[in-house]
Amino acid sequence: MFSFLNKDQTTGEVEERQLDETNIPAHVAIIMDGNGRWAQQRHLPRIAGHKQGMNTVKTVAMAASNLGVKVLTLYAFSTENWKRPSAEVNYLMKLPVDFFGTFVPDLVKNNIRVKVMGYTDQLPAATQKAVNDAIADTKDCTGMVLNFALNYGGRAEIVTAVQKLAEQVQTGQLTATDIDDDAIDRELMTADLGELRDPDLLIRTSGEERLSNFMLWQVAYSEFVFTQQHWPDFDQTALEQAIYEYQQRHRRFGGLATDNTK
């Protein structure tokens, strides 16, 4: 049993809670929201929020790995984020360079493998290099997969998969009726995660309750937990609280609960 101190967000009451070690979500995905608001509350520029958000990535990656999470997917930059002011976009593009430049030795020490999903060929050359180096440097790690969604969009991912399947039909490798869930899964950017490709738990920080084009296919049966903290304030306890909430849910995948009453 992992125990942690839960603080009620409305009453401030603190109580010790136990996590069931046998029911840790294998794949946790996080929409890291609220960096800008965190900075604004402190009268700091938005990029200060992103910088602090990068430090939170380090804390949360370690915490998830220690809890036994197998895949941690983080929404770091969406295909829509290019619409932000160019100074902010440039800063966000530099973050992976800083992050991997300083953190890869810790990732290797903790047996964490880096994966990236998204249209990475459209990223600046220095960002691509940082990402590719991190993937290469951690390729032999067999523990948690730290999966960054970078220049990622759920609809674009599905469109690309459908195009690839259409090409396979055109060349006679597939017939239209061969296209099923498995065929689509094989063409998505999570294909290499195998059985772990679909998040068990999706967390969004900062109070917003929407998907913002994130893993639209893969979250079909995920449990959603929305937290009030802005991403820079998210920490190990917040992750444990979200996992605790996940453990109170009864996942049915469209069927019935085993005791048929829930």
Which x/- pattern, by CB under 6 A, does the window 95-134 give for ligand FPP?
xx--x-----------------------------------
Structure tokens at 125: 């050359």
66: annotated active-site residue? no
Interacting stretch for ligand FPP, rule CB under 6 A, among 31-39, 179-187, 210-218, 254-262? 31-39
Q: Between 35 and 222, whose beta carbon lies closer to ligand FPP?
A: 35
Which of the stretches 94-102, 137-145, 194-202, 245-253 binds ligand FPP when contact is defined by CB under 6 A?
Answer: 94-102
List the one residue out of 18, 24, 21, 22 whose CA is nearest residue 4.
Answer: 18
CB 189 within 8 A of CB 213: no
> Is 100 or 165 the residue whose CB approaches ligand FPP more closely?
100
String of contacts with ligand FPP for each residue 190-229, x by CB under 6 A: ----------------------------------------
Q: Please, which residue, 60 or 161, has the CB nearer to ligand FPP?
A: 60
User: What's the CA gap between 185 and 203, in Å, rounded?
Assistant: 22
Choice from 91, 148, 234, 246 touching ligand FPP (CB under 6 A)? 148
Residues sharing a CB contact under 8 Å with residue 98, sequence separation 6 or more, in sequence order = 54
Active site residue 33: yes
Rg (CA), the chain: 19
Task: Extract long-range pairs of 172-177: CB within 8 Å, 24+ residues apart.
Answer: none
Of 9-17, 33-41, 105-113, 114-122, the window that binds ligand FPP (rule: CB under 6 A) is: 33-41
Using the contact rule CB under 6 A, the part of the chain among 26-34, 60-68, 163-171, 241-249 near ligand FPP is 26-34
Two tokens at 237?
């306890």
* Residue 181 parent element (H or E): helix 181-187
Interacting residue with ligand FPP among 27, 50, 115, 204 (CB under 6 A): 50
**Strand 201-204 with 223-226, pairing:** parallel
| Alpha carbon distance 60, 72 (integer Å) | 9
9 token code pair: 């967000």
From the list 33, 35, 151, 200, the catalytic residue is: 33
DSSP secondary structure code for residue 23 in this structure: G
Q: Show which residues are catalytic.
A: 33, 81
Binding footprint of ligand FPP on the chain (CB under 6 A): 32-37, 50, 53-54, 57, 76, 81, 92, 95-96, 99, 148, 231
